Structure 1
Amino acid sequence: MDYFLQGPHWADFQRALGRTVHEQSGPGWSFLAVEESNPAGKLLYTPYGPVAASVEAFDTALAALTDLARRTGAVFVRIEPVSAGLAVPAAAGELRRRGLQPAPVNQQPELSWIVDLDRDFKEVLADMKPVNRNLYRNIHKKGVTFRATKDPAEISVLLEFLHLTAARNGFKPQSDEYLSQVARSLMPTGAATLFIAELEGSPIAAALAYDSTDTRTYAHAALDDAHRKLSAGIPLLVTLMADAKEKGLKHVDLWGVAPEGQPDHKWAGFTAFKKSFGGRGVEYPGTWDLPVRKLRYAAYQLARKAAQAAKRAPAGLRALTGKLKSIRR
């Protein structure tokens, strides 16, 4: 699979946000690294990268990233080697042997759900739950139609539905400016497409997808709660898949899912929805840090763990600590 976050269109988008992006490649490897900052200082982040055809190529890419970090003054490199010849679960040991350590949190999902399109689309439909197939085939009888657009101005449709969903479910979506810049940077090039479901000409659901050379990534979606009973989000996603198949793409990445046996996971509801379309799970090594300025990185980790411990401490102990600090002052 070709990961969109390591592609040239994502690099252009990051630059449009005002970020510094580095792209390097060699025999069997490549990476897109974005300069970011956190309490430790500057870092280089390679989302779902570096990409490598073998473990040997991965080591070369890692050396190039280390050299780049030294030249740019980065404290550490943050990687997500989803395509580097490192199989899970053995990847953890291989990464530790190379001096990496797990990042405090995974930046991108370590579990994803993939629907393969390199077969007849009837087979793709056959793997879905019957209700999904039936909605896709019959929802037009209720006056619902679907269309795709590459007009950045129409991102406002998705933004409106995201606001409604956020207010209803109490989550914070990505900012309007961020998604508007996504639309301005990626939709005119064909790297992003907005799919809209309409009831008698009025939008009732929308989904934004990103395309790489062989994979479409289902990135953002929301619907109008007033028409929830129509379940338009299901045939909208099937339409997104059918369109990807027509364009010759081989996979649809439905993005993050919850681990097995965790019904209380925050993604459990999304996971059940995504798995209803058939497909297969993919496990990635997760997000890892390679310290370059090791003393500074170690100090950052100590400070972070101390702050976490303070938050977990009982209220009485935190109050006593506060009093001791005031006495010392």
Structure 2
Amino acid sequence: MNKHFLQSKPWQQFQQSLGRKTFHVKNDHWEYLAILEHGTGNSRLYLPYGPTAKDQTALEEALDSLKKLGKEQGVSFLRIEPTNPEFVNYLSKNGWKKVTYQSLNPEHTHLVDLSLSHDDLLASFVSNNRNLYRNYHKKDIKLHQSNNPKDISIFLDLIKKVASRTGMQPHSDEYFTKQAEALFPVKAGSLYYATIDSQPIAACIVYDSDTTRYFAHFGADDEFRKFSAGNVLVAHIIFEAQKKGLKTMDLYGVAPKDSSPTHPWFGFSKFKRSFGGRDVDFAGSWELPLKPVSYWLYRLYQTTRKKLR
């Protein structure tokens, strides 16, 4: 079973560092990491990109285990995100509700095959990315990698500039700092960044499992946009993952293929697809009420809140 990084032990340790209670349950056919979260007037068990199950029978067993755990913890509902899209039919017929009232983890992602040769991998990029990667030295761009948690400050400065420019709401400084402290020392996460004259102009956080690298977070200084450091940096982390012996690069979240240019993710989805690879669909986010009144009040609150934004 190839589980997602958000179902891994390093991610569990990061969640615990945030003060959250976690549960790791497994057998030979299924596995899940459940995080106890407290929301508006309720609590839930959340399985980011989980459970992992070999087949539908294993999924049923995992969900039975999860329901029992949810009742023991007294939560209002369960929230799951299986990566296997073949499970959708089973979930829809067995009381699970598709989450459409708020945005959670992306239902679509973009994978790059790292088993290709270096030359074939580079050839799969659009021509602009190939040229930028081949010639970035001429622009005096330097690329760096760090597993020192203190260097997260480089990323924080850049993501704040993105937030100021776009109005996006990034995670808190504490969230990213705790993440760096949990993941960087064990090499489950790394910071990559680009500089010009020692000044950071773009940075990203990646996660690494035994097989896959995940492009998790990115920030850049718009004043240096003409250097296209983001393109160079993504190409670099792809080739560094290949050198490490990983099999797949997950560029982590894209808009559906048929999305219009007005889709909020259209721009960065086009950017991610410019590095070759293929789109992959997951099952999406699903919820099962254990305390129906509490759950539907929560869902009504979230739906109303979304409409008022």
Same fold (TM over 0.5): yes
Match of 1:82 in 2: 83
Match of 1:297 in 2: 295
Same amino acid, percent of matched pairs? 39
Describe the shift of the 1:246–1:297 C-alpha distance in structure 2 as closer, same or farther (beyond 3 A). same
Please provide the CA RMSD for this pair.
Answer: 1.9
SS in 2 for 1:256: coil
The question of 1:208 aligning with 2:209 is answered no
**1:88-237 to 2 correspondence within 5 Å?**
91-103=87-99, 104-237=101-234
Q: 5+ residue gaps in structure 2?
A: none
Measured against aligned partners, the alpha-carbon deviations of 1:169-218 in whole angstroms (never above 9, x if no partner) come to: 22221111111111111111101110111213332211110111211110
CA contact (8 A) 1:197 1:236 kept: yes
Shift of 1:301: 4.0
Measured against aligned partners, the alpha-carbon deviations of 1:192-248 in whole angstroms (never above 9, x if no partner) come to: 110111213332211110111211110111122222111111111111011111111
How many angstroms apart in 2 are the aligned matches of 1:119 and 1:243?
Answer: 13
User: Which of 241, 244, 251 is matched with 1:254 structurally?
Assistant: 251
Q: Which amino acid aligns with 1:285?
A: A
Q: Which amino acid aligns with 2:243?
A: E
How many angstroms apart in 2 are the aligned matches of 1:92 and 1:63?
Answer: 17
Shift of 1:294: 3.3
Q: Which amino acid aligns with 2:283?
A: P
Shift of 1:300: 4.0
Measured against aligned partners, the alpha-carbon deviations of 1:58-98 in whole angstroms (never above 9, x if no partner) come to: 10000000000011111111000114xx42xxx43321212
Q: Which amino acid aligns with 1:189?
A: V
CA contact (8 A) 1:27 1:57 kept: no
How many angstroms apart in 2 are the aligned matches of 1:22 and 1:179?
Answer: 22
Q: Which amino acid aligns with 1:198?
A: T
Q: Which amino acid aligns with 2:90?
A: E
SS in 2 for 1:188: coil
Larger Rg: 1
SS in 2 for 1:263: coil
* TM-score normalised by structure 1 residue count: 0.88
Shift of 1:39: 3.1
Describe the shift of the 1:291–1:40 C-alpha distance in structure 2 as closer, same or farther (beyond 3 A). farther
How many angstroms apart in 2 are the aligned matches of 1:311 and 1:147?
Answer: 43
SS in 1 for 2:159: helix
CA contact (8 A) 1:40 1:297 kept: no
How many angstroms apart in 1 are the aligned matches of 2:296 and 2:190?
Answer: 43
Q: 5+ residue gaps in structure 1?
A: 313-329
The question of 1:265 aligning with 2:263 is answered yes
How many angstroms apart in 2 are the aligned matches of 1:153 and 1:186?
Answer: 12
SS in 2 for 1:217: strand
How many angstroms apart in 1 are the aligned matches of 2:140 and 2:308?
Answer: 53
How many angstroms apart in 2 are the aligned matches of 1:144 and 1:108?
Answer: 33
CA contact (8 A) 1:113 1:255 kept: yes
Q: Which amino acid aligns with 1:221?
A: F
Describe the shift of the 1:266–1:310 C-alpha distance in structure 2 as closer, same or farther (beyond 3 A). closer
Q: Which amino acid aligns with 2:239?
A: A
CA contact (8 A) 2:42 2:298 kept: no
Q: Which amino acid aligns with 2:249?
A: V
Match of 1:66 in 2: 67
Shift of 1:292: 1.9
Q: Which amino acid aligns with 1:177?
A: E
Match of 1:239 in 2: 236
Shift of 1:106: 4.1
Shift of 1:302: 5.2
CA contact (8 A) 2:14 2:178 kept: yes
How many angstroms apart in 2 are the aligned matches of 1:309 and 1:171?
Answer: 15
Measured against aligned partners, the alpha-carbon deviations of 1:108-145 in whole angstroms (never above 9, x if no partner) come to: 00111111112212111111011101111111012111
User: Which of 262, 272, 275 is matched with 1:274 structurally?
Assistant: 272
Q: Which amino acid aligns with 1:119?
A: L
CA contact (8 A) 1:29 1:61 kept: yes
SS in 1 for 2:252: strand
Match of 1:18 in 2: 19
CA contact (8 A) 1:2 1:213 kept: no
Describe the shift of the 1:205–1:69 C-alpha distance in structure 2 as closer, same or farther (beyond 3 A). same
